[in-house]
Chains A and B, each alone.
Chain A
Amino acid sequence: MDRDVYIANGAGFSGDRFDAAVPLVAHLATCSGPRYLMFEVLAERTIALAQNAKAKDPSSGYSPYLENYLRPILHDVQKHQVRIVSNMGAANPAAGARHIHRLAEEMGLKPFKIAVLTGDDVTSYLDRQAIIEAETMEGTSLAGRDLCAANAYLGGDAVAKALDTGADIVLVGRTTDSALVLGPLIHEFGWQEEALDKLAAGTICGHLLECGGQVTGAYFADPGFKDVPDLAGVGFPLAEVRADGQFTITKADGTGGCVTKATVTEQLLYEMHDPSCYLVPDVSADVTEMQLIEEAPNRIKVVGIKGHERPEKLKVTVCVDGGYMAEAEMSYAGLNALKRAKLAGEVVLSRMRASGYNEEIRMDILGAYSVLDGGRAERMEGKNLPFDGDYRVRLALISEDRDKAQLLCNELQHLYCSGPAGGGGYRAAVTEQMASASILLDRALIAPHVKAEVIAHD
């Protein structure tokens, strides 16, 4: 197979725009060659939440947005033979597949052939106690916590196996995000395990696509300094990949945003550490010699990616119960607002201490010191803050004890009648937390359990 392969990405995270894939499918329909549409919707935390949902109801545990993403495009992907690859399967790909069968029937479409990939959930075949006691990459210990989920990052080779079934749609759980692109490329071009440079190129292509609009001008605009045309209508990305591994990043016709060397470079380095060894299960990719060539407006060709031998072990993310986070806020505005906001925070801190809570409580004053300052009041020094200002005090803690978390919110709310002058706009929330860490496991422990299976309509 030497024809170019076209791969588009319709979502970069769970909660991305539901309509982004529509212009991509229209664009793919005009491309002559194998066409794929991927959706990446699975954060670390998402799969643990899905695992909890599945424990309560065996027919759930896949992306709650499955229908939001697929309904707008299902008719046209069938018409134009666009194959879909997505990690919407989360903790229960088979149940997700059945949902798509029902949706297709309801929409009056022909049945799809849907394959699922399983084996990423190591709790289904490894000892839970051993998982929780394994040495973590971060050096933190998870011993004694409740295990919520432990999923291995599967690679493009596994996704390719699911496509080898001939499926129109492939649903997976945890794979590397880039495997959703590398999988189709291995399937189409037959790249073997030794084709390291090509596997590396496919991986980096996937890395560039996996965050959706982040390579086409989204998450990029800095008005006046770094402008992006029609950000509201930003087009999601599409790659044209050649059999030799060279590829071009572009976007759907008639959409907003832009594809430039600068947008591609920002996304290339996003969540990357050492650029000479970007590790995925299939390969270690090296972008230190990579070059970007502007072929035409909104078309960036990527060449010069090298690959080195794949890692011996696979990464497994382990999620455990992480207690409760409390966040509570109140606004103060006008003259002397900063001092009133500061006093408000101090009142709450003093009452929390009096209640016997002696763990750390973070205090920010939005508008004075916050996300860039680590909640450290001394970072206000030297800032020219307005005396007539608009400030918002925020307190936050994480506790094993839900009651202590709720107490922080209650104490801040009490400021309505018992705090400094002019406080308003109280908002607060207590949210369940998940803690996570990574462990490394031998491939041999995981590989025998990785299976692709076609799921028929009930």
Chain B
Amino acid sequence: MTNIKTRELPLHAIAHARAGDKGNVSNISLIAYLPEAYDFLKREVSEAKVEALFAHLGAGAVKRYELPNLYAFNFVIQDALDGGVNASRSLDRHGKTLSFILLSRLILDIPEALIPPSSPYRDPEFNWR
């Protein structure tokens, strides 16, 4: 049995992200801070989980692309932008803030070793909620 120390944390503890738009399609990159976190992200951040995170926006299918050389993923999310930049009634018509849905709202049991050494999340007392 392995004995890996994990904590319940958001993806924000181990990855960063940026959102882009083309029409009504949002794409959100997810990039591990540490290369070691890539396999964990690959296992845990599935298309189905991301689809569920964006369902309330009316989003449709999600496609995940893998870039192991860059320890990164690209999620392409259909119909996430209320019609796109020229049709949306959102305050954020490009959906630029949406990268923080992925970083903030997917809470996982994250191995502590995958958190960057300088990150505030390394402190067990750090209150992120």
Judge whether A138 is part of the interface by a CB distance below 8 angstroms. Answer: yes
Contact with A along B69-104 (1 / 0, CB 8 A): 110101010000010011101111000011011001
Contact with B along A434-446 (1 / 0, CB 8 A): 1111100000000
Complex contacts, A371 vs chain B, CB 8 Å: 90-92, 97-98
Q: Contact at B86–A44, with CB atoms within 8 Å?
A: yes
- CB-contact partner of B86 in A137, A262, A435, under 8 A: A435
Complex contacts, B86 vs chain A, CB 8 Å: 44-45, 322, 433-436
Q: Contact at B72–A397, with CB atoms within 8 Å?
A: no
- CB-contact partner of B89 in A226, A261, A372, A375, under 8 A: A375
Complex contacts, A288 vs chain B, CB 8 Å: 67, 69
- CB-contact partner of B70 in A225, A290, A325, A375, under 8 A: A290
Q: Contact at B22–A325, with CB atoms within 8 Å?
A: no
Complex contacts, A374 vs chain B, CB 8 Å: 56-58, 82, 90
Judge whether B31 is part of the interface by a CB distance below 8 angstroms. Answer: yes
Q: Contact at A372–B18, with CB atoms within 8 Å?
A: no
Judge whether A201 is part of the interface by a CB distance below 8 angstroms. Answer: no
Q: Contact at A398–B87, with CB atoms within 8 Å?
A: yes
Q: How far is the CA of A289 from the CA of B85 in the complex (A)?
A: 32
Known: A269-B72, A273-B22, A372-B101. A398 touches B120 (CB 8 A): no
Interface magnitude class on chain A? 35 or more
User: Measured between C-beta atoms, what is the minimum distance from B103 to chain A in Å?
Assistant: 9
- CB-contact partner of B18 in A269, A370, A397, under 8 A: A269
Complex contacts, B65 vs chain A, CB 8 Å: 274-276
Q: Contact at A292–B56, with CB atoms within 8 Å?
A: no
Q: Contact at B24–A269, with CB atoms within 8 Å?
A: no
Residue among A275, A372, A379, A397 with the highest chain B CB neighbour number at 10 A: A372
Closest A residue, CB atoms, query B12: A225
Known: A265-B70, A288-B67. A270 touches B98 (CB 8 A): no
Q: How far is the CA of A287 from the CA of B65 in the complex (A)?
A: 11
For chain A, residues 247 to 272, give those with C-beta under 8 angstroms from any C-beta of chain B.
261-262, 265-272
Interface magnitude class on chain B? 35 or more
Q: Contact at A376–B29, with CB atoms within 8 Å?
A: no
Q: Classify the secondary structure of B's interface with A.
A: mixed
Q: Contact at B87–A435, with CB atoms within 8 Å?
A: yes
Judge whether B111 is part of the interface by a CB distance below 8 angstroms. Answer: no
Contact with B along A220-245 (1 / 0, CB 8 A): 10101110000000000000000000
Q: Contact at B74–A275, with CB atoms within 8 Å?
A: yes
Complex contacts, A124 vs chain B, CB 8 Å: none
Q: How far is the CA of A67 from the CA of B120 in the complex (A)?
A: 45
Q: How far is the CA of A434 from the CA of B83 in the complex (A)?
A: 12
Complex contacts, B16 vs chain A, CB 8 Å: 222, 225-226, 262, 266
Judge whether A116 is part of the interface by a CB distance below 8 angstroms. Answer: no
- CB-contact partner of A364 in B63, B87, B91, under 8 A: B91
Closest A residue, CB atoms, query B80: A374
Contact with B along A25-49 (1 / 0, CB 8 A): 0000000000000000000110000
- CB-contact partner of B20 in A272, A398, A437, under 8 A: A272
Complex contacts, B21 vs chain A, CB 8 Å: 271
Complex contacts, B74 vs chain A, CB 8 Å: 269, 272-273, 275
Closest B residue, CB atoms, query A270: B20
Contact with B along A342-364 (1 / 0, CB 8 A): 00000000000000000010101
Judge whether A299 is part of the interface by a CB distance below 8 angstroms. Answer: no
Residue among A269, A275, A289, A304 with the highest chain B CB neighbour number at 10 A: A269
Known: A225-B12, A364-B91, A374-B56. A271 touches B20 (CB 8 A): yes
Q: Contact at A394–B91, with CB atoms within 8 Å?
A: yes
Closest B residue, CB atoms, query A322: B86
Judge whether A219 is part of the interface by a CB distance below 8 angstroms. Answer: yes
Complex contacts, A266 vs chain B, CB 8 Å: 16-18, 29, 31
Complex contacts, B104 vs chain A, CB 8 Å: 372
Contact with A along B34-66 (1 / 0, CB 8 A): 000000000000000000000011100001010
Complex contacts, B58 vs chain A, CB 8 Å: 374
Q: How far is the CA of A17 from the CA of B92 in the complex (A)?
A: 21
User: Measured between C-beta atoms, what is the minimum distance from B76 to chain A in Å?
Assistant: 5
Known: A371-B97, A374-B82, A435-B86. A265 touches B31 (CB 8 A): yes
Mark B residues whose CB is within 8 Å of A: 12, 16-18, 20-25, 27, 29, 31, 33, 56-58, 63, 65, 67, 69-70, 72, 74, 76, 82, 85-87, 89-92, 97-98, 100-101, 104-105, 119-120
3 tightest A-B CB contacts, nearest first: A271-B20, A269-B29, A362-B89
**Can you name 16 A-B pairs with beta carbons within 8 Å?**
A45-B86, A138-B24, A220-B18, A225-B12, A262-B16, A265-B31, A267-B18, A268-B29, A269-B67, A272-B74, A292-B70, A373-B56, A374-B57, A433-B86, A434-B86, A438-B23
Given A224-B120, A396-B91, A438-B23, 9 new contacts (CB under 8 A): A44-B85, A138-B24, A262-B16, A273-B25, A360-B89, A362-B89, A362-B90, A364-B91, A374-B56
